Amino acid sequence: MGLTSPSLLTVLVLTTVAVTIATLWLWPRAARRKPLAWVARLALLAVTQASLVAVLLVLANNTYGFYSTWNELLGHASSSQSLQPGADGGKRPPALVVKGQESIGLKGTREKAGQVDRIEIRGPVSGLGMDGYAYLPPQYFRKEHAKDTFPVVVAITGQPGVSKNLITQLKIPQAASAAIMDGHIRPTIYLLLRPSVMADRDTNCTDVPGGPQALTFFNQDLPLAVSEQYRASGARGSWGAVGNSTGGYCALKLAMTNPARYGAAASLSADYFARQDGSTGDLYAGSKAYKNENDLTWRLEHLPPPPVSLLVSTSKKGEENYEPTLRFAAAAKPPLRVDKLVRDEGGHNFQTWREEYPQVLRWLDKELQARS
């Protein structure tokens, strides 16, 4: 029974109700002035409180996505990433390996609803690697589309986080499958990834001087790996990117630094610069100029605008990025265009993003068709 499974919450709620009823029934028997009776009453109170707290903790975890699996809760790594040394001659190992399929409750066979693959990516340029997921649309498996290529959307979760949050919390492949089946968006490949290419460091999709080349991984290694394994479109601007929080910053950065590949990008509740803290270390080697280059608003204000479409989301209440979002959008100049998705209220949480994603996916599909 998974940590985020509805069955777990149901069992805990039923257990709490049963324990409460049992406590009310047994309390008169324990209401005596004897040491054993005192112990019995304390035990009844402890069990009742523990069951109620368990329900509240599971509800909070399901809402805010602190942990996705039992292994993650217990402190065990639930996502593997590794630094891959370069090969000295010989045949290069595959850049993308399919490890199997992930069952996520899609409504139909793969020819009707699509399929989610578990994937492992090994970057031949950056030497970095990570695991994640790939959603393939139903048309990918139909004979009449056997020679077709498909646009690609790279979806990136926040930091810290695991790529599975995009399935269990934000339900991106489920939303994409439903929209494709209903004819609201084109058949598209969705890659579901995390922003950090290092297990113990928040790299903010940045090529760190003397350190991990995270931006190179997303801009060069990822398209190469996907194109080797899947029938992904290589047309100019046929890829898109989307993400929440840190993943949103990464998505915008990909389109702004690699417009030949990424024609559109959307960010949900993102910052427009990379915050440096203990988990990031020095991302810029102390260089103010390099730090400016990684500040997305600074790029709009001082560098030629790339020919891409961007969507930024924020809330008038409950979001720290409201004013920075307005400033970022105001700095846009043609041929770049920035659309805004503004809520009256919202928060930096999975519930808000889950409600935004269906509309964001439709926006991405429309813009990629226009740009590619």
Give the domain ranges of the chain: 6-64, 94-371
Residue 7's Cβ-count burial label (10 Å; 0-12, 13-18, 19+) is: exposed
> What is the Cα–Cα distance from 178 to 108, expressed in whole angstroms?
11
If you average pLDDT over residues 325-343, what whole number do you get?
A: 96
Q: Which residues pair with 156 in a beta bridge?
A: 193, 243
Which tens digits make up the pLDDT trace of 289-323? 999 999 999 999 999 999 999 999 999 887 888 99
Q: What is the pLDDT of residue 59?
A: 83
pLDDT at 205 over 70: yes
Stronger pLDDT, 245 or 199, i.e. the higher one: 245
Residue 64's Cβ-count burial label (10 Å; 0-12, 13-18, 19+) is: middle
H-type alpha helices, 258-303: 288-293, 296-302
State the helix-helix crossing angle for 350-371 and 35-64, rounded to 10 degrees. 10
Q: What is the pLDDT of residue 318?
A: 75
237: left (phi over 0), alpha (psi -120 to 50) or beta: left
Low-confidence winner among 6-10, 39-43, 52-56, 89-93 (lowest mean pLDDT): 89-93
Q: What is the pLDDT of residue 7?
A: 84
Residue 6's Cβ-count burial label (10 Å; 0-12, 13-18, 19+) is: exposed
User: Quick count: other Cβ atoms within 10 Å of Cβ 50?
Assistant: 12
> What is the Cα–Cα distance from 156 to 214, expressed in whole angstroms?
13
Confidence of residue 75 (pLDDT cuts 50, 70, 90): low
CATH superfamily of 94-371: Alpha/Beta hydrolase fold, catalytic domain (3.40.50.1820)
Q: What is the pLDDT of residue 90?
A: 62
Q: Amino acid letter at 178? A: A
Nearest Cα to Cα of residue 372 among 227, 177, 234, 271: 234
Across the chain, what does the average pLDDT equal? 90
